[in-house]
Every structure is written in C-alpha cells, then in structure tokens.
Chains A and B, each alone.
Chain A
Amino acid sequence: MRYAILLMGAPYSDQASHSALRFAHAVLARGHRLEAVFFYHEGVHNAARLAAPPQDEPHLVDGWARLAAEHGVALQVCIAAALRRGLLDEREAARHGKQGSSVAAPFELSGLGQLIDLSTRCDRLITFGP
C-alpha cells in the first residue's frame, strides 16, 4: 500500500512525533511504500534545523532526515504554518529579511495543496497529533 503521514504534534512536547516516526519505520518494514510525511500545525517544529536534544534522547529531526535519505520519503512542511512559527528555509528567510534559516533539506516548505494531493494519491493517510 501507499501510505502518507500527517503529523501535527511538536517534537518533545508530546508523543505524536515519536509515534509517527516509529509508525513510518513499521510501514516500511512491512514492505509498504511511504510517500511522504506532511508536517502541519505544531508538527512543523519537527523541521527545526537547530534542534539540539540531549544526546541520550532520540534526535527526531535527524530521524526524519534519515528516513528521507534511506527510503526516499518526502518531508513536506506546510509553509503557512511554518512561517508564523519561525521556520524558514533560506529562500523564505531572504524574502522576509531574516538572518539565517531554520529549515533545510530534506525538509521542504510546501502548501496545504500537497496534503490534499497526498490524501487522494495514497491508499492511507494516517494522522498523528497530541
């Protein structure tokens, strides 16, 4: 089956991000295809390039990046939800006159239309939230 994940919980604030990442690996281990993870609401904080959790805790941001590198999973971040929460890639940082950026590849800023596209294109869209 073709899966997609909608993640709406902030990392380290609640269980949603941990569960979503574990679910992603479980889906892949079962031989399914995971098309994308769409980050919306507070889930956009999962794309924070500068996240620096203690070393004895799972690094969620790196975990998502590894998922993308190893399995070709697209990491799409809702741009409207991201910008107002201070999550900008280089292009948006330049556009808004900000020094530095807080989102980098493989995360990509994208629109809600991508979420709707995933919901129609995939067999299952699974939501994780607080």
Chain B
Amino acid sequence: MQARPDPHDLLVILRHGPHGSSWLKEGLDAALVAAAFGQRVALLFMGEGVTALVRDQQVGPLGQKGTAPTLEMLAMYDIETLLVDAPSLAQFGLSPEALMLEVTCVSSEALPALLAGQRQVLTF
C-alpha cells in the first residue's frame, strides 16, 4: 500500500475480539453510525481484533449477541475498505482466505503512512 491521500473521513481501528468485552461491538456501532451520517469509513482490524473476521462464529452461549451479523451488514453501509494488520493475522495463524469478508492486508512497513494519512482515527 502506497502513502497517498486517503479517501476516507474516518478510520476505525478494532483491537479486541468479538467476545470478552464490548469494545468490538461498540467500535462497530460507532463505525456504522458514522457511515449512516455520510462519512466514508474504513476499518482496520489489529491484534485480537482480527479474530472478529473468523468464519462461522456462533452466538448465544456466552450471553452475547456476537458481532458477525454486524460485519455482514458493513457493505449495506458502504463500508467496503476492510484493512487487516498482516502481522496480527499471522500471529493468530490465520490467512485472508480463512476470513468471512474480503480484506486488504497491511504490512508493518505500510502502517505508519496509513495512519499518518488519516483525517480522523477512532481506536476501540
């Protein structure tokens, strides 16, 4: 990924998994509302956040709604830029093909320029 003017108004960084806390859910809620307000939103999954994208997630047993249904709605909100931190993906032994949505991997080298080019970043 080259350092270039980013076409997005807001980058939402998601660093928590779908269970164990409400960070991911509340981060996605903020992204959806921003998109509904006409903002061009990109998501960056980092750290444990990459596990949000693992296929075939179940809901219910933990008393939580889960976030997979929300991720499936992203396209409806025109949130189509889904970025994944490549080292995080490797750390969890995942490949882009194992994920429920099509993503763009971002290398460690490209990350600083990506972040520096953002107008607004919210981290969850």
Contact = CB atoms under 8 A, between A and B. Distances in A.
A129 B121 CA distance: 14
A112 B22 contact: no
Interface residues of A, number: 17
Contacts of A111: 33
Interface residues of B, number: 16
Main secondary structure of the interface of A (DSSP, over half): helix
B81 interface: no
A41 B10 contact: no
Nearest to A111: B33
6 contacts: A111-B33, A112-B34, A113-B33, A116-B39, A119-B10, A129-B123
Given A111-B33, A116-B33, A119-B122, 15 more contacts: A6-B122, A40-B26, A41-B23, A41-B26, A41-B124, A81-B26, A112-B30, A112-B33, A113-B33, A113-B36, A113-B37, A116-B34, A119-B34, A127-B123, A129-B123
